[in-house]
C-alpha cells in the first residue's frame, strides 16, 4: 500500500487528512452497499413478478372470442359460434347484442352463431357464410350430408323460457317467430391469417383473409391426422389450434 504525504504538513496533519478521507470513503461505501441491497431486492421482486407480467400480456393479446368457434366474413364481420351447450349459452347471453344476427339449425346439438354487426347491415355473402358455418359445425357433418338447412333470426326471437309443459336443456333456447331458412353446403376451409392465427370457416371467407389455406370435406381422416397435414401445408399454426377449427367428425383435406 502506497501513502502519499504532503511534505508541507506535519506527520500529525497528514494522518488527520488520511483519517478524514477514510471517513468519507466509509460513508460512500455504506451508501453503495445500501444501494446494492435496494437494487437486489427490487431485482428479486421483478424476477418473481415476471411470469405474472408475461401471463397478463398474453391475456391481453388474446381475443374474447378465441374460446369459441369464430371467423371473419368476406366483408370483415366477426362471426362467433358455440362449441357445446355451455358455450352456446355464453355466446347468446353474454356476447349477443340487439342489432346482431343469430344463426341456428333445427338439428339437436347445433351451434348458435352470431354475426357481430356493430349496428350495420351485413350483405348476403356474410349471412350465407355464417349459415354455412352453423350447418357445417353441426351434426350434419357426421351424418355425411352434403347440404343442410340453417336459418337466421333476430336476438329478440331467442328465449330461454320454454313452452308450458316443456323443458329446455342446457344450451337450448326457444326460437319464436319467422325464420329465414336457407340450404347451404357442408364444407369448410382452414387458413392462416397475416398475424399467424389459425382461422376456420367457409371457403369464401378463408380465401378473402388467408393467403395459405386448405379446404376440408367429410372423409375418413381423424381430426388429429388432418390437423398435422394442414399444419405441414400451411407451414405454421399450432396443431391444437387447427384441431379447434375442425368440425366434429372424420374429414378429408384437399387443396384450395
C-alpha 209/C-alpha 235 separation (Å) is 17
Q: What is the pLDDT of residue 103?
A: 98
Q: Which residue range(s) make up the domain with 192?
A: 187-256
Taking only the tens place, the pLDDT of each residue in 24-61 is: 766 666 665 665 667 567 666 665 665 554 444 444 45
254 near 219, Cβ under 8 Å?
no
Domain match, 171 and 117 both: yes
pTM assigned to the model: 0.74
For residues 126 and 150, state if they share a domain: yes
Q: Measuring CA to CA, how many Å separate 168 from each of 84, 153, 157?
A: 15, 19, 16
The answer to whether residue 139 sits within a structural domain is yes
Regarding whether 204 and 138 lie in a shared domain, the answer is no
Q: Give residue 42's pLDDT.
A: 66
pLDDT given at position 54: 41
**Per the structure, how many domains does the chain have?**
3
Residues of the chain with pLDDT under 70: 1-3, 5-7, 14-15, 18-19, 25-37, 39-40, 42-61, 162-171, 256
Kindly state whether residues 167 and 225 are assigned to the same domain: no
The C-alpha cell at 238 is 399450432
- Give residue-wise pLDDT tens across range 138-151: 999 999 999 999 99
* Any domain includes 7: no
Model pLDDT, residue 46:
61
Do 50 and 73 have their domain in common? Answer: no
Statement to judge: residues 27 and 89 lie in one domain: no
Determine, yes or no, domain membership for 5.
no
DSSP string of the chain? ------TTS-HHHHHHHHHHHHHHHHHHHHHHHHHHHHHHHHHHHHHHHHHHHHHHHHHHHS-GGGGSEEEE-TT--EEEE-SSHHHHHHHHHHS--TTSEEEE-SSTTPPPEEEE-TTS---HHHHHHHHHHHHHTSTHHHHT-SEEEEEEE-GGGEESPPPTT--PPTT--EE-S--EEEEEE--EEEEE-TTS-EEEE-HHHHHHH-SSEEEEEEEEE-HHHHHHHHHHHHT-S-HHHHHHHSPSS-EEEE--
The answer to whether residues 103 and 89 belong to one domain is yes
Do 136 and 31 share a structural domain? no
What pLDDT is stored for residue 78 in this prediction?
98
Q: Is residue 193 part of a domain?
A: yes
State whether 16 and 117 are in the same domain.
no
Residue 179 has a pLDDT of 96
- Structural domain ending residue among the three candidates 160, 186, 212: 186
Q: Are residues 195 and 132 in the same domain?
A: no
Per-residue confidence (pLDDT) for residue 36, from 0 to 100: 61
CA pair distance 212, 191, nearest whole angstrom? 6
Give me the residues paired with residue 151 across strands: 104, 181
- Domain C-terminal end among 21, 46, 61: 61
In a domain? residue 208:
yes
Amino acid at each position: 500500500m502506497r501513502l502519499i504525504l504532503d511534505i508541507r504538513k506535519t506527520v500529525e496533519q497528514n494522518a488527520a487528512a488520511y483519517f478524514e478521507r477514510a471517513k468519507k470513503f466509509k460513508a460512500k461505501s455504506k451508501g453503495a452497499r445500501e444501494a446494492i441491497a435496494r437494487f437486489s431486492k427490487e431485482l428479486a421482486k421483478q424476477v418473481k413478478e415476471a411470469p405474472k407480467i408475461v401471463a397478463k400480456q398474453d391475456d391481453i393479446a388474446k381475443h374474447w372470442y378465441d374460446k369459441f368457434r369464430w371467423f371473419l366474413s368476406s366483408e370483415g364481420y366477426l362471426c362467433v359460434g358455440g362449441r357445446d351447450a355451455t358455450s352456446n349459452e355464453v355466446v347468446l347471453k353474454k356476447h349477443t347484442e340487439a342489432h346482431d344476427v343469430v344463426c341456428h339449425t333445427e338439428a339437436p346439438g347445433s351451434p348458435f352463431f352470431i354475426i357481430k354487426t356493430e349496428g350495420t347491415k351485413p350483405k348476403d355473402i356474410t349471412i350465407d357464410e355464417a349459415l354455412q358455418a352453423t350447418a357445417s359445425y353441426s351434426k350434419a357433418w357426421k351424418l355425411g350430408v352434403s347440404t343442410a338447412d340453417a336459418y337466421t333470426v333476430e336476438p329478440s326471437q331467442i328465449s330461454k323460457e320454454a313452452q308450458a309443459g316443456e323443458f329446455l336443456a342446457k344450451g337450448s333456447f326457444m326460437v319464436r317467430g319467422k325464420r329465414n331458412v336457407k340450404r347451404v353446403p357442408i364444407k369448410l376451409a382452414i387458413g392462416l391469417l397475416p398475424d399467424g392465427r389459425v382461422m376456420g370457416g367457409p371457403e369464401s371467407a378463408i380465401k378473402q383473409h388467408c393467403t395459405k389455406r386448405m379446404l376440408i370435406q367429410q372423409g375418413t381422416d381423424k381430426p388429429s391426422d388432418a390437423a398435422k397435414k394442414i399444419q405441414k401445408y400451411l407451414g405454421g399454426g399450432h396443431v391444437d389450434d387447427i384441431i379447434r377449427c375442425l368440425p366434429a367428425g372424420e374429414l378429408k383435406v384437399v387443396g384450395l
